Amino acid sequence: METRTVAFVAPPELRPQEPAPANTRGAIGWARAHLFGSVGQVLLTLLGIFVVYAVVPPLLKFFVFEAVWTGTGRDDCLPEKIGRPVGACWPFIWAKWNQILYGFYPAAERWRVNTVYLMGALLLAPLLFPKLPFKRLNALAFFGIYPVIAFVLLTGGDLDMRTFLLGWTGLDFGLASFAGLRVGFWLQFILVALIAAGIGMLVCPFFGGERGSVAKSILKVFAVLGVILLVVDLDFGLEPVETRQWGGLLVTLVIAVTGITVSLPFGILLALGRRSDYPLVKYASIIFIEFWRGVPLITVLFFATYMLPLFLPGRFTIDGLLRALVGVALFASAYMAEVVRGGLQAIPKGQYEGAMALGLRSGFMMRLVVLPQALKLVIPGIVNNFIGLFKDTTLVLIVSIFDLLGILRASFTDPAWATPTTLFTGFGFAGIVYFVFCYGMSRYSMALEKRLDRSHRH
Amino acid sequence: MTDARLPDSAPARRWSWTDPALRSAVIQVSLAILLIWMAWSFFANAQANLARQGIASGFGFLDNSAGFGITQTLIPYSESMSYGRAFLVGLLNTLLVAVLGIILATVIGFLVGVARLSENVVIRALASAYVEVTRNLPPLFQILFWYLAVLATMPNPRQGWAFGLQPLLQSLANGAASIGLSPLADGLRSLAGDVSGPGVFLSNRGLVVPRPVFEADFNIIFGVLVVGIIAAWIVKRWAHVRREKTGQPFPTFWVGLALVLGPAIIAGFVLGWPMTFEKPELRGFNFAGGVRIIPEFVALLVALSVYTAGFIAEIVRAGILAVSKGQTEAAKSLGMRSGPTMRLIIIPQAMRVIVPPLTSQYLNLTKNSTLGVAVGYPDLFAVFAGTTLNQTGQAIEIIAMTMAVYLTISILTSMLMGWYNKRVALVER
């Protein structure tokens, strides 16, 4: 029997392997693939280079090479006075620096704003690095303790609180005061705490809790609330500063940080409410969320500024900034609810079922199993929300609150700095500030997303 | 053999504090009481406050004479007309800037989104820079920038920029003269003299363009156009059915274009173009004739389109990337070229991912158009929640109406979205 073998493939030793063609390798290959592959590509490349040429050098010339860096008044920025073409007039920014940072905050009290800035930075920085320890404590300090201290420092504290929820009964313990604290207020507070604990003990079998522990946890909540109220009520001898004097970056940051801090708990509640089995809870949450998401922020601010005061009892007068904060908080809560809902939906059903199989009641299931996972998933979403909120703070200038953009816009009309380039310098500076904040945060959110994503890949 | 039988019925339920039905009832009833109490106290407080300020509630004010002018009106309006009319004018202005902004933002966004996926590194880098810069600057900042730093610093009408055939010929002539072709330059100059005035002016007064004037015969052209559109639609249906049956392709687009435009152009020729343009002319320090597009509108439109386009670009990019590579490879292995691959394979599948976030961007653009109030563009918000609220003090009615308009737009859009999603959703077994 005869067998024939046919070699279909030439053995490698017959012909030496040849390198890839020269025009697909190295710098030439790269340029062919990415710049000059075809006539169309060449044209696109030339167009791109032309755009870069038309945009970048003039910007650099304006903001750096021809800019005026030092000076004391408009004369230093007028081309006819200094005898050369003038780009950006940076002395204008230096002159307005305090307004940009603090608005019209009294000069003697600016150390308070600086302290708040510094504390915020020191507490926030370690929170941003996932590797550092004490996250829970750190978050508590930033979201829980810091706002109270910042409130006291910025406003001066010493709120003159007279009644606590019992004003309507006409119950009066007298208005004697002691160290800036009104005795009547605190007696009412203690009374309310005891009543709440009593009600809790009465209804606790209904939720399947234990009498003693329910009363204890209610009293604990009141203790925390009491400490917060005490801090804002105490007279630390700080000069009160009206919010009308606040401005610039201070207002921008106060609105953005308050908005996100307040919206987090409310957003979680609304998101849970939207997934609730009780129809009334579910539809009330849906209506709330979709209503605020469906209208523009500026109408919300107008609502808070012009309509809200009408809805409250006549004796309340609300501060202008607080009104804007209420509007921003309503708006941000609705958006936060949708972000959190996304996280809740991403948790596999097995987690819920596992928690139920262990016999956890729904409150514990949410608190111990679902929310910790869901919230971790939505951190990038929360950061993105914050970026949006940060950009949206500019809208308060329409209700006459001077944020960073508002202060700069107001200072364009300052005759002491009226030069042909003042306007462009101001826009350039504001643009750089907003860009640095927003771009930095979006990069951070993307890095975080990547990190979280990896930890969930099996 | 006795077997343990299951009881015929479950044991009667005993009353329990933790009975889910009871808990559900108690929680919902308490929430209902809370909501009703809140609504009632808001209502009572509002009534008391309004009575104290002496403001009559109700929508009667809508019939009162507005008494303020509006700088841009799409329908006839004068100061003596009612607040209700002003509301309508504002609403139309909002819709105008929203619709044009959506079209412009979509075009820019798709171009930039595709450019971000380009092989060409220069184009890719430019597109990335565009996206990062526009997305990270607040929209209000951008509106103020275009209004105060770009449009307001334009030269006055006398020194403004003119666009059109005449200036083009003029500059060509100057160019020819500068390289020594004086006969050509003279010819071009005399040609420029024959063309009547430039059509488009850009200055700190805004953009001025010719106004089209339709004569009576134009109705015929319009009718022919409608017939052409119907014919094109019928051809499209026929081509679709034939392709389903036989697989034969048909150049629907070009044939349709010819059917729509061809007869209309022929009719125009026959009738001797019953449409003329009224060109704007510089008289003194301003323009007479033509249509003036106010700078507020230009600033708002440009800023909103540029801002939203950054987001749309990212959506488009993500949508195209979401189509798996196997689809491109399969199309290539069937011998399709890159153009048809993109048009017939990639884009239709990418649209499924693109459209939902795209509509939410459209909604955002519409909502952001309220920011025009910062530069004085007379949109619904500025006219109604701004000026009218200031004049009448009817805060509750006015803010409620304004919110209702935006809410209606949002709800309509999301309903449309739901319908679309249902239509394009993958049918899974």
> How many domains would you assign to chain B?
2
The answer to whether residue A293 neighbours chain B at the CB level (below 8 Å) is yes
Considering chain B, what is the average pLDDT of its residues?
84
Same domain, B268 and B300: no
Tell me what the mean pLDDT of segment B246-251 comes to: 81
- CA–CA dist A383, A438 (Å, integer): 10
Q: What residue segments make up the domains of chain A, in order of their start?
A: 159-235
pLDDT of residue A281: 92
Give residue-wise pLDDT tens across range A278-304. 999 999 999 999 999 999 999 999 999
Selected residues 229-268 of chain B with any CB under 8 Å from a CB in chain A: none
- A154: exposed, middle or buried (Cβ count in 10 Å: 0-12, 13-18, 19+): buried
User: Which residues in chain A are closer than 8 Å to B131, comparing Cβ atoms?
Assistant: none
Domain limits at B117? Answer: 83-139+294-379+402-424
Tell me what the mean pLDDT of segment B345-359 comes to: 87
Choice among A448-457, B116-125, B305-314 with the minimum mean pLDDT:
A448-457
The dihedral formed by the CA atoms of A367, A372, A375 and A376, expressed in degrees to the nearest 10: 180
The answer to whether residue B391 sits within a structural domain is: no
pLDDT of residue B39: 92
Choice among A38-47, A443-452, B280-289 with the minimum mean pLDDT:
B280-289
User: Which residues in chain B are closer than 8 Å to A35, comparing Cβ atoms?
Assistant: 120-122
Query: Is the pLDDT confidence value at A331 over 90?
Result: yes
Same domain, B420 and B307: yes
More confident residue, B345 or A5: B345
The answer to whether residue B70 sits within a structural domain is: no
Tell me what the mean pLDDT of segment B24-35 comes to: 89
* Confidence category of residue A70, pLDDT binned at 50, 70, 90: confident
Query: Is the pLDDT confidence value at B57 over 60?
Result: yes
**Is B139's CB within 8 Å of A397's CB?**
no
**Is A307's CB within 8 Å of B396's CB?**
yes
pLDDT of residue A173: 64
The answer to whether residue A440 neighbours chain B at the CB level (below 8 Å) is no
- What are the φ/ψ torsions at residue B206 (nearest 5 degrees)? 105, -160
Same domain, B303 and B359: yes
Tell me what the mean pLDDT of segment B264-284 comes to: 74
User: Which residues in chain A are closer than 8 Å to B389, comparing Cβ atoms?
Assistant: 302, 306
- CA–CA dist A402, A396 (Å, integer): 7
- CA–CA dist A319, A315 (Å, integer): 13
The answer to whether residue B361 neighbours chain A at the CB level (below 8 Å) is no
Q: Which residue in chain B is spatially nearest to A421 when comparing CA positions? A: B149
| Residue A435, H or E segment | helix A422-455
User: Which residues in chain A are closer than 8 Å to B396, comparing Cβ atoms?
Assistant: 307, 310
Q: Which residue in chain B is spatially nearest to A395 when comparing CA positions? A: B140
Query: Is the pLDDT confidence value at B15 over 80?
Result: no
User: Which residues in chain A are closer than 8 Å to B31, comparing Cβ atoms?
Assistant: 278, 280-281, 284
pLDDT of residue A172: 64
Tell me what the mean pLDDT of segment B371-377 comes to: 91
Same domain, B310 and B361: yes
- CA–CA dist B254, B316 (Å, integer): 26
Same domain, B268 and B344: no
Q: Which residue has the tokens 């108690």?
A: B26
Give residue-wise pLDDT tens across range B198-237. 567 777 777 887 777 777 777 787 888 888 899 889 988 8
A96 Cβ contact list (under 8 Å, min separation 6): A407, A408, A411, A417
**Is A49's CB within 8 Å of B122's CB?**
yes
* Confidence category of residue A7, pLDDT binned at 50, 70, 90: low
CA distance A36 to chain B (A): 8
Q: Which residue has the tokens 């390198």?
A: A19
Q: Whole-angstrom distance between the N-terminal and C-terminal Cα of chain B?
A: 49
Per DSSP, the three-state class of B282 is strand
Q: Which residue in chain A is spatially nearest to B29 when comparing CA positions? A: A280
Q: Residue B120 is nearest to which of A44, A397, A398, comparing CB atoms?
A: A44
When scoring B16, B91, B117, B144 by the number of chain A Cβ atoms within 10 A, the one with the most, hence best to mutate, is: B144
B208 beta partners: B201, B292
Q: List Cα–Cα distances, B429 to B316, B324, B426, in angstroms.
A: 28, 20, 10
What percentage of chain B reaches a pLDDT higher than 90?
Answer: 30
Give residue-wise pLDDT tens across range A208-245. 667 788 888 889 999 999 999 888 888 888 888 888 88
Considering chain A, what is the average pLDDT of its residues?
85
Query: Token pair for residue A422?
Result: 């003042």
User: Which residues in chain B are closer than 8 Å to A295, comparing Cβ atoms?
Assistant: 367, 403, 406-407, 410
Query: Is the pLDDT confidence value at B168 over 80?
Result: no
- CA–CA dist B409, B399 (Å, integer): 16
B235 Cβ contact list (under 8 Å, min separation 6): B252, B255, B256, B259
Check which CATH number belongs to the domain holding B338 and give it: 1.10.3720.10
More confident residue, A431 or A362: A431
Query: Is the pLDDT confidence value at A169 over 80?
Result: no
Choice among A73-77, A253-257, B140-144, B306-310 with the minimum mean pLDDT:
A73-77
The answer to whether residue B343 sits within a structural domain is: yes
DSSP B201: E
- What are the φ/ψ torsions at residue A140 (nearest 5 degrees)? -60, -45
The answer to whether residue B130 sits within a structural domain is: yes
Tell me what the mean pLDDT of segment B11-31 comes to: 76
Selected residues 408-437 of chain A with any CB under 8 Å from a CB in chain B: 409, 412, 423-424, 427, 430-431, 434-435
- CA–CA dist A91, A97 (Å, integer): 9
**Is A298's CB within 8 Å of B371's CB?**
yes
| Residue B193, H or E segment | helix B182-194
More confident residue, A283 or B18: A283
Give residue-wise pLDDT tens across range A172-191. 666 666 666 777 788 888 88
Give residue-wise pLDDT tens across range A189-199. 888 899 998 88
pLDDT of residue A458: 44
**Is A307's CB within 8 Å of B49's CB?**
no
User: Which residues in chain B are closer than 8 Å to A282, comparing Cβ atoms?
Assistant: none
b/e B281-294 (16+ beta carbons within 10 angstroms → b): ebeeeebeebebbb
More confident residue, B81 or B158: B81
CA distance B375 to chain A (A): 10
**Is B23's CB within 8 Å of A206's CB?**
yes
pLDDT of residue B1: 47
What percentage of chain A reaches a pLDDT higher than 70?
Answer: 91
- CA–CA dist A317, A242 (Å, integer): 14
The answer to whether residue B55 neighbours chain A at the CB level (below 8 Å) is no
More confident residue, B7 or A3: A3
**Is B122's CB within 8 Å of A35's CB?**
yes
Query: Is the pLDDT confidence value at B172 over 90?
Result: no
Tell me what the mean pLDDT of segment A404-430 comes to: 88
When scoring B22, B42, B123 by the number of chain A Cβ atoms within 10 A, the one with the most, hence best to mutate, is: B123
b/e A174-187 (16+ beta carbons within 10 angstroms → b): eeeeeeebbebbbe
The answer to whether residue B312 sits within a structural domain is: yes
User: Which residues in chain A are closer than 8 Å to B49, comparing Cβ atoms?
Assistant: 309-310, 314
- CA–CA dist B355, B420 (Å, integer): 9
Same domain, B306 and B224: no
Give residue-wise pLDDT tens across range A104-151. 889 888 999 999 999 999 998 888 887 888 888 888 888 889 999 999
Per DSSP, the three-state class of B58 is coil
Query: Is the pLDDT confidence value at B7 over 60?
Result: no
Query: Is the pLDDT confidence value at B160 over 80?
Result: no
